[in-house]
């Protein structure tokens, strides 16, 4: 027998769950399919288990400020109709306690499970049918049959016909918990263009021997200003940097990684709050300390020690150092330029940059312009948010836009 639904949603992650709930509550008969045993594994591990579910600082009139992609303006329509305040209202209705942590980031007080339970309750209110775990073997277009059905979805639990098919299979990061390229393959099958995919919000790696002097700093964290790109594309972030055994991580690196082009450099100001040159030249006049000890008043002493080890001119009492050597040291600390060899890849990335080209989709409804009834939402689309709750907000907003579009269409 053929199962018939108005809407089939592939992927029960953030976007798929929310879209299913919204569409169901608008009266559509919805089937939600996921190959993983559990729903929303990424919500479960997000924000260190507390889920940074949105960001209060998101300016819905200027979303391009917090989103990356070939056309970040694409997300404006959906975000202006379903913004952070709308999601917060839902969280409030479910009585989930939350708090703001840093730069507008909202986290659940107790657990990410509360957000998942909320989405499941919303799905129940929409009488959503779940098939999970259930693999999808093929999708094909139907010559519209008598019921107005446009797609056939072949799955381990049988064949389904539906009027709307929603691709909500997410990105490629963390394959261990269920990420696959199904969404991209389906988009291609239906003739939708893809923007090349690369890992985003990801730690960076450096050449083994060149990195050796810094490997001893693993575990050290400090606030920096980090930048990449030339004049027109220049992007900077004021965030914490973390040294690791293989390279650099922390919010500063994760943020800049989404903007970094392989082969180009990044630059880091390790002492953004102080005029280092003036500080060192003044210290030279009055101090008997070693340069490393003077530096230790500006940066963690482990960093100061590793830094002066790079140049014999820096391994002496500051009173005996030449002005030139001190200026060079200041320059090196405040404009540390380095070229990453790569990133830790999808195994460690929080998101995938690139995806279904927004040119293919309606910004009102997320429907594919050339394939009526086919929708793409969430991370599978070429819209990537900054670290800090922006990616979930895009998942909620694109899901809501899609559900409204399907109910009206």
- Peptide bond just before 110 cis, omega within 30 deg: no
Looking at 20, 120, 128, 182, which residue binds ligand FAD (CB under 6 A)? 182
Helix axes 390-408, 14-25, angle to 10 degrees: 30
Asked if residues 214 and 243 have their Cβ atoms less than 8 Å apart, the reply is: yes
User: Per CB under 6 A, does 305 bind ligand FAD?
Assistant: no
Q: How many residues line the site for ligand FAD (CB under 6 A)? A: 37
Q: Which stretch binds ligand FAD (CB under 6 A): 8-16, 285-293, 307-315, 363-371?
A: 8-16
Query: Residue 77 or 169: which CB sits closer to ligand FAD?
Result: 169
Q: Which stretch binds ligand FAD (CB under 6 A): 10-18, 91-99, 267-275, 299-307?
A: 10-18
Q: What is the largest CA-CA distance in the chain?
A: 90
Which residues fall within 8 angstroms of residue 183, CB to CB, at 6 or more apart? 10, 11, 167, 168, 169, 170, 355, 356, 376, 380
Three-state DSSP class for residue 343: strand
Query: Residue 314 or 346: which CB sits closer to ligand FAD?
Result: 346
Rounded least distance, CB 355 to ligand FAD, Å: 9
Query: Residue 45 or 327: which CB sits closer to ligand FAD?
Result: 45
Question: Would you tell me how many other CB atoms lie within 10 Å of the CB of residue 41?
Answer: 20
User: Per CB under 6 A, does 83 bind ligand FAD?
Assistant: no
Looking at 5, 8, 9, 14, which residue binds ligand FAD (CB under 6 A)? 14
Looking at 7, 24, 28, 35, which residue binds ligand FAD (CB under 6 A)? 35
User: Of residues 42-61, which lie at the interface with ligand FAD (CB under 6 A)?
Assistant: 42, 45-47, 51-52
Looking at 6, 7, 8, 11, which residue binds ligand FAD (CB under 6 A)? 11
Chain position whose Cβ is nearest to ligand FAD: 13
Helix H segments across 179-272? 182-189, 208-215, 250-257
User: Per CB under 6 A, does 361 bind ligand FAD?
Assistant: no
Q: Could you tell me which of 47, 8, 1, 25 has the C-alpha nearest to residue 400? A: 25
Looking at 25, 154, 180, 339, which residue binds ligand FAD (CB under 6 A)? 180
Asked if residues 31 and 162 have their Cβ atoms less than 8 Å apart, the reply is: yes
CA distance 397 to 401: 6
User: Per CB under 6 A, does 205 bind ligand FAD?
Assistant: no
User: Per CB under 6 A, does 379 bind ligand FAD?
Assistant: yes
Three-state DSSP class for residue 125: helix
Q: Which stretch binds ligand FAD (CB under 6 A): 118-126, 221-229, 290-298, 376-384?
A: 376-384
Rounded least distance, CB 315 to ligand FAD, Å: 41
Helix H segments across 36-167? 41-45, 76-81, 84-93, 112-125
Looking at 6, 34, 294, 357, which residue binds ligand FAD (CB under 6 A)? 34
Q: Which stretch binds ligand FAD (CB under 6 A): 1-9, 123-131, 157-165, 378-386?
A: 378-386
- CA 25 to chain CA centroid, Å, is 28
Rounded least distance, CB 379 to ligand FAD, Å: 4
> Residues 125, 378, 199, CA angle at the centre, nearest 5°?
145
Q: Could you tell me which of 372, 371, 8, 367 has the C-alpha nearest to residue 189? A: 371
What is the contact surface with ligand FAD in residues (CB under 6 A)?
Answer: 10-16, 34-36, 41-42, 45-47, 51-52, 136, 168-170, 173-174, 178-180, 182, 350-351, 378-380, 389-392, 395
């Amino acid at each position: 027998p053929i199962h018939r639904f108005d809407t089939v949603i592939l992927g029960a992650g953030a976007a798929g769950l929310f879209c299913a709930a919204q569409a169901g509550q608008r009266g559509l008969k919805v089937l939600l399919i996921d190959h993983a045993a559990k729903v929303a594994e990424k919500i479960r591990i997000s924000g260190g288990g507390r889920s940074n579910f949105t960001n209060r600082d998101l300016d819905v009139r200027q979303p391009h400020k917090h989103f990356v992609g070939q056309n970040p303006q694409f997300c404006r329509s959906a975000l202006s109709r379903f913004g952070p305040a709308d999601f917060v209202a839902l969280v409030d209705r479910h009585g989930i306690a939350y708090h703001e942590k840093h730069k507008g980031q909202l986290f659940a007080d107790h657990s990410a499970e509360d957000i998942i339970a909320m989405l499941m309750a919303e799905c129940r209110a929409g009488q959503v049918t779940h098939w999970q775990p259930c693999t999808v073997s093929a999708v094909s277009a139907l010559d519209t049959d008598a019921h107005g059905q446009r797609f056939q979805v072949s799955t381990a639990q049988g064949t389904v016909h539906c009027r709307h098919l929603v691709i909500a299979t997410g990105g490629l990061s963390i394959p261990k918990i269920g990420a696959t390229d199904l969404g991209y393959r389906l988009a291609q099958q239906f003739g939708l263009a893809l923007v090349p995919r690369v890992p985003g919000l990801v730690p960076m790696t450096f050449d083994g021997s060149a990195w050796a002097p810094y490997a001893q700093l693993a575990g050290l964290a400090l606030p920096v200003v980090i930048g990449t790109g030339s004049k027109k594309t220049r992007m900077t972030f004021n965030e914490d940097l973390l040294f690791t055994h293989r390279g650099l991580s922390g919010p500063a690196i994760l943020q800049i990684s989404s903007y970094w082009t392989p082969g180009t450099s990044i630059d880091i100001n390790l002492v953004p709050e102080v005029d280092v040159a003036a500080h060192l030249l003044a210290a030279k006049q009055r101090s008997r300390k070693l340069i490393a000890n003077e530096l230790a008043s500006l940066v963690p002493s482990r960093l100061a020690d590793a830094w002066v080890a790079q140049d014999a001119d820096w391994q002496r009492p500051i009173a005996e150092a030449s002005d030139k050597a001190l200026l060079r040291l200041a320059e090196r600390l405040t404009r540390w330029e380095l070229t990453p060899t790569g990133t830790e890849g999808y195994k460690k990335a929080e998101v995938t940059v690139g995806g279904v080209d927004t040119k293919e989709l309606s910004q009102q409804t997320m429907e594919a312009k050339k394939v009526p009834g086919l929708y793409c939402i969430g991370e599978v689309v070429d819209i990537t948010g900054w670290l800090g709750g922006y990616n979930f907000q895009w998942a909620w907003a694109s899901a809501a836009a899609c559900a409204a579009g399907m109910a009206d269409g």
